[in-house]
């Protein structure tokens, strides 16, 4: 099963693009989209965890095989990916766990809680992100994971597949900034997310 975590402050079109590509790569296995309640390595989100969960639901509406999962929102304290993977591994003993993340997030993994254990529980599908350096994989990678060329090789944990996806230019930071400047974001977020942001007057 697939896992796609993030702050989703707000959920935007590049998240959707990644998710659609991830579903395709995983042959439409079930994917859990997991908003972080309290991200460990960045400023506090501007929107509440509940609003971000609603936006993830609205943004993924109509995508079959996607479940918006509130386990990090229900869990007390800082949201760590490893805790979600541990609980998903217990719930899904017979299914390999596949974590999707952008190259920027992947490059920072060394600072994540218990990051080496992530490779014992899951394989990773890493998406290109404009602005990230695609030339070299990080120094720490060979010690804990194996780079593979196709998803078929991800049936056991510890594999990393770098996707050569078309870059998607968009970020939640940019969207929050545009909203503060009272500029349009309708082309950057799914329509349901746009309506929700406007109706709740978020990010102004
Ligand atoms: P912010 O600008 O607030 O840092 P963000 O746009 O990076 O937010 P997150 O919710 O932090 O969004 O990201 C969730 C996941 O989606 C991460 O793995 C991140 O790398 C990935 N991601 C977000 N935007 C892109 C993008 N444009 N291309 C590739 N990956 C992306």
- Other C-beta atoms within 10 Å of 74: how many? 9
Distance 105 CA to ligand 1 centre (A): 8
Cβ-contact 102, 125 below 8 angstroms: no
What is the CATH classification number for the domain harbouring 153? Answer: 3.40.50.620
- Does 49 map to a domain? yes
* Predicted local confidence at residue 135, as pLDDT: 66
- Does 196 map to a domain? no
Q: Give the Cα separation of 61 and 30 in Å (integer).
A: 14
Q: What pTM does this model have?
A: 0.96
Which residue is listed with tokens 């591994």? 89
Which residue is listed with tokens 């972080």? 36
Q: What is the dihedral of CA 132, 167, 25, 107, to 10 degrees?
A: 10
Distance 193 CA to ligand 1 centre (A): 16
Q: Is 101 in the pocket of ligand 1 (CB under 6 A)?
A: yes
Tens digit of pLDDT at every position of the chain (204 positions): 999 999 999 999 999 999 999 999 999 899 999 999 999 988 899 999 999 999 999 999 999 999 999 999 999 999 999 999 999 999 999 899 999 999 999 999 999 999 999 999 999 999 999 987 666 788 889 899 999 999 999 999 999 999 989 899 999 999 999 999 999 999 999 999 999 999 999 999
Closest residue by Cα to residue 11 from 40, 51, 63: 51
Q: Give the Cα separation of 119 and 67 in Å (integer).
A: 23
Distance 8 CA to ligand 1 centre (A): 8
* Predicted local confidence at residue 133, as pLDDT: 63
- Does 197 map to a domain? no
Element (H, E) at 163: strand 159-163
- Other C-beta atoms within 10 Å of 190: how many? 21
- Does 26 map to a domain? yes
- Does 157 map to a domain? yes
- Does 120 map to a domain? yes
Which residue is listed with tokens 């079930």? 30
- Does 176 map to a domain? no
| Number of structural domains the chain divides into | 1
Q: What single-letter DSSP state applies at residue 78?
A: S
Question: Where in the sequence is the domain holding 109, given as residue range(s)?
Answer: 2-168
Distance 14 CA to ligand 1 centre (A): 8
- Does 145 map to a domain? yes
Name the residue with the closest Cα to ligand 1, atom 13.
6
Q: Where are the alpha helices (DSSP H) in the chain?
A: 13-25, 49-60, 71-74, 81-91, 103-107, 115-121, 141-144, 172-180, 191-200
Q: Is 104 in the pocket of ligand 1 (CB under 6 A)?
A: yes
Q: Is 15 in the pocket of ligand 1 (CB under 6 A)?
A: yes
């Amino acid at each position: 099963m697939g896992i796609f975590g993030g702050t989703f402050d707000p959920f935007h079109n590049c998240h959707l693009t990644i998710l659609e590509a991830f579903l395709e790569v995983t042959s439409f296995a079930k994917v859990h989209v997991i908003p972080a309640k309290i991200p460990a390595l960045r400023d506090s989100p501007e929107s509440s965890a509940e609003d971000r969960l609603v936006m993830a639901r609205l943004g993924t509406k109509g995508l079959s095989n996607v479940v918006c999962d509130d386990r990090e929102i229900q869990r007390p304290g800082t949201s760590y990916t490893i805790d979600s993977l541990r609980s998903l591994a217990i719930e899904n003993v017979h299914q390999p766990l596949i974590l999707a993340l952008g190259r920027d997030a992947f490059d920072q993994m060394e600072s994540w809680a218990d990051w080496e254990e992530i490779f014992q529980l899951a394989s990773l599908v890493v998406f290109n992100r404009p602005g990230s350096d695609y030339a070299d994989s990080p120094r720490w990678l060979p010690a804990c994971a194996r780079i593979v060329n196709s998803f078929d090789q991800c049936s056991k944990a510890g594999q990393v597949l770098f996707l050569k996806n078309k870059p998607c230019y968009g970020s939640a930071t940019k969207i929050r900034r545009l909203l503060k400047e009272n500029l349009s974001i309708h082309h950057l977020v799914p329509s349901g997310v746009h309506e929700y942001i406007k109706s709740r007057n978020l990010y102004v």
